[in-house]
Structure 1
Amino acid sequence: MFDVLVYLYETYWRPDACPDHAQLTRKLTAVGFENDEIQEALSWLDGLAAAGESYQGEQSESAMRVYSPAEIEHLGEASVGFVSFLESAGVLPGPMREMVIDRAMAISGAPMDLEDLKIIVLMVFWSLGEEPDALILDELFVAPEDRLIH
């Protein structure tokens, strides 16, 4: 499923640029994706669109997120830490954080792989038509061992 999401991100600059599900399914099949993988990705994207409809970009400065035991178990410590890092860096506002957590919880398997969570973060930005800043894109795409140290 994550390969389909990455393909959509790279191919369509905004979600509204994507064709309808039927045409998109045909295009993705032609590219070589399996039908079950495509359907899982499209269903996940429908959930993302629903979460985006209730997106509100403001949250109290004093608000604090407490993760439930089920969320910690499902996300894993590395993913919770990464979400906290993005939030403390000021690039992931509370409402977007909640969209990331919601969509991560919709993925089966625990704990979540950090690389998969990074794709979810990227897709949340994409779904809202927002471009993450360059340093965050570097964090999302470049493996730590491949980074150049200045």
Structure 2
Amino acid sequence: MFDVLVYLYENYWRPDACPDHAQLTRKLSAVGFESDEIQEALNWLDGLAGAAESYVGEQGANSLRVYSRAEQEHLGEASIGFISFLESAGVLPPPMREIVIDRANAISGGSLELEDLKIIVLMVFWSLGEEPDALILDELFVDEADRLIH
């Protein structure tokens, strides 16, 4: 599913540039994605679109997010730490954080990998028509093992 999401991000500059589901399914199939992977991604994107529509401005600057035990187990320490990093950097306001957490929880299975969470964050920015700044894009795209230390 995450490969489909990355493909959409790279090929459609905003969500409303995507064709309807039927045409998009045909295009994604032609590129080589499996039908179950496509359906899972499209269902996930429908949930993201709903969350993006309900996106409202800022919550209180001093708001504090307490993660439930289930969220802690599903997201994992690395993902929660990354979300906190984005919040402290001032690029992930509380309402966007909640969309990220909601969409992360919509992924079935065990603990979420940090790389998958980064794709979710990227897709949340994409769905809201916002471009993260260059340093944040670097955090979202560059694997830590590929970073050069100067």
Q: TM-score range by the shorter chain?
A: over 0.9
Instruction: Tell me the residue number matched to 2:119.
Output: 119
Instruction: Tell me the residue number matched to 1:71.
Output: 71
The reply on whether 1:45 has 2:45 as its aligned counterpart is yes
Q: CA deviation at 1:110?
A: 1.9
Name the TM-score, length of structure 2 as normaliser: 0.98
- The amino acid that maps onto 2:80 is V
SS in 2 for 1:76: helix
Q: What is the distance in 2 between the residues matched to 1:78 and 1:111?
A: 10
SS in 1 for 2:100: helix
1:57–1:96 contact (8 Å) kept in structure 2: no
Q: What is the distance in 1 between the residues matched to 2:110 and 2:75?
A: 7
Instruction: Tell me the residue number matched to 2:103.
Output: 103
Segments of structure 2 that go 5 or more residues without pairing to the other structure are none
The reply on whether 1:28 has 2:20 as its aligned counterpart is no
SS in 1 for 2:129: coil
Segments of structure 1 that go 5 or more residues without pairing to the other structure are none
1:19-76, CA deviations, whole angstroms, 9 ceiling, x for partnerless residues? 0000000000000000000000000000000000110121111111000111001101
Q: CA deviation at 1:141?
A: 0.5
Q: What is the distance in 2 between the residues matched to 1:51 and 1:112?
A: 20
Q: CA deviation at 1:146?
A: 1.2
Q: What is the distance in 1 between the residues matched to 2:141 and 2:57?
A: 25
Instruction: Tell me the residue number matched to 2:6.
Output: 6
SS in 2 for 1:98: helix
